[in-house]
């Protein structure tokens, strides 16, 4: 029997790309996606530009906009100090536009993602995402060691699964597992590639500040990478506390 490396301590899905994620007690992982993950995007309606917090300062407030899915799977959003509002919708677009300071709109990537009767435009997905982004607390601890004044908060890196495991001195362990297979509870994964980090990681959110040194540390010490992408060999649901084993 393979040794247990650690246990799941955080599970996340991101109903709208670039907006804040929704922490979960369990997630359902299909062959190509996490259920409820990255169903919507946000655009500047003046030019139909999709939100890119990693590239433009005007989008830096976007990760502070909260998201959640209702029990029926409908998107709701809330700007800081604002109420939860159904999205896509005129009220949510007005609130987001007022918060950002320019006209913006939430739109679905696919028709089936939104509420019945939605007849508005769709967005073209900016990239084909990996099904799972995995991060370990061992890597977070190594980053904190390299940059002790920074806040190595998982929200900077937008993982789906965070696994608590003992720190390995001098190592970002999951980056060294490329090509290996993992079991997390009943879920079977293949670690396909390292996650190359971008400017999103430096952006401040609730509880931590803007910090360019976070990205500089990863460039210098882990070839720009942090965490890993995984493909799904056997879909399953994953709950907090599920154990992780290398196969």
Q: How far apart are CA 107 and CA 29, in angstroms?
A: 23
C-alpha atoms less than 13 angstroms from C-alpha of 85 in its C-beta half-sphere: 19
Q: What is the pLDDT of residue 39?
A: 93
Q: What is the pLDDT of residue 111?
A: 78
Q: How far apart are CA 131 and CA 38, in angstroms?
A: 11
- Please enumerate in sequence order all residues whose Cβ is within 8 A of that of 218, keeping only pairs 6 or more positions apart, or say none: 143, 197, 201, 224, 225, 226
Q: How many residues are recorded in the chain?
A: 247
Confirm if 201 and 218 have CB atoms less than 8 A apart.
yes
Q: What is the pLDDT of residue 129?
A: 67
Gyration radius of the chain over CA positions: 18
List the one residue out of 38, 12, 33 whose CA is nearest residue 163. Answer: 12
List the one residue out of 15, 42, 11 whose CA is nearest residue 27. Answer: 11
Q: How far apart are CA 245 and CA 5, in angstroms?
A: 6
Mean pLDDT for back-to-back runs of 10 residues, the chain (247 residues): 89 96 97 93 94 94 97 94 95 98 94 74 77 96 96 96 94 95 97 95 94 96 96 98 96
For residue 15 the two structure tokens come to 């109903």
Q: Give me the domains of the chain, ranges plus CATH numbers.
A: 4-33+129-246 (2.40.33.20), 40-113 (no CATH)
The position carrying tokens 């597992």 is 177
Record the pTM.
0.94
C-alpha atoms less than 13 angstroms from C-alpha of 40 in its C-beta half-sphere: 29
The DSSP output letter for 201 is G
Confirm if 6 and 29 have CB atoms less than 8 A apart.
no
Distance of CA 235 to the CA centre of its chain: 19
E strand residue ranges, the chain: 4-13, 22-24, 26-29, 40-44, 49-50, 66-69, 75-78, 85-87, 104-108, 132-136, 161-164, 181-184, 187-196, 225-234, 236-239, 243-246
């Amino acid at each position: 029997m393979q040794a247990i490396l650690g246990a799941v301590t955080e599970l996340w899905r991101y109903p709208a790309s670039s907006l804040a994620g929704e922490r979960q007690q369990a997630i359902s992982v299909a062959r190509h996606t996490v259920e409820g993950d990255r169903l919507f995007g946000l655009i500047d309606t003046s030019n139909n530009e999709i939100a890119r917090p990693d590239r433009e300062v005007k989008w830096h407030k976007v990760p502070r906009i909260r998201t959640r899915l209702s029990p029926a799977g409908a998107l709701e959003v809330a700007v800081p100090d604002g109420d939860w509002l159904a999205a896509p919708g005129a009220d949510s677009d007005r609130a987001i536009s007022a918060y950002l300071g320019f006209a913006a709109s939430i739109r679905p990537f696919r028709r089936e993602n939104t509420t019945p009767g939605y007849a508005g435009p769709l967005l073209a997905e900016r990239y084909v995402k990996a099904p799972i982004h995995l991060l370990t607390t061992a890597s977070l601890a190594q980053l904190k060691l390299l940059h002790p004044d920074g806040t190595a908060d998982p929200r900077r890196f937008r993982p789906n699964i965070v696994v608590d495991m003992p720190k390995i001195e001098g190592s970002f362990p999951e980056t060294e597992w490329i090509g290996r297979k993992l079991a997390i509870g009943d879920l079977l994964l293949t670690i396909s590639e390292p996650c190359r980090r971008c400017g999103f990681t430096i952006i401040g959110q609730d509880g931590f500040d803007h910090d360019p040194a976070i990205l500089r540390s990863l460039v210098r010490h882990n070839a720009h990478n942090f965490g890993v992408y995984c493909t799904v060999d056997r879909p399953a649901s994953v709950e907090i506390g599920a154990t992780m084993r290398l196969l």
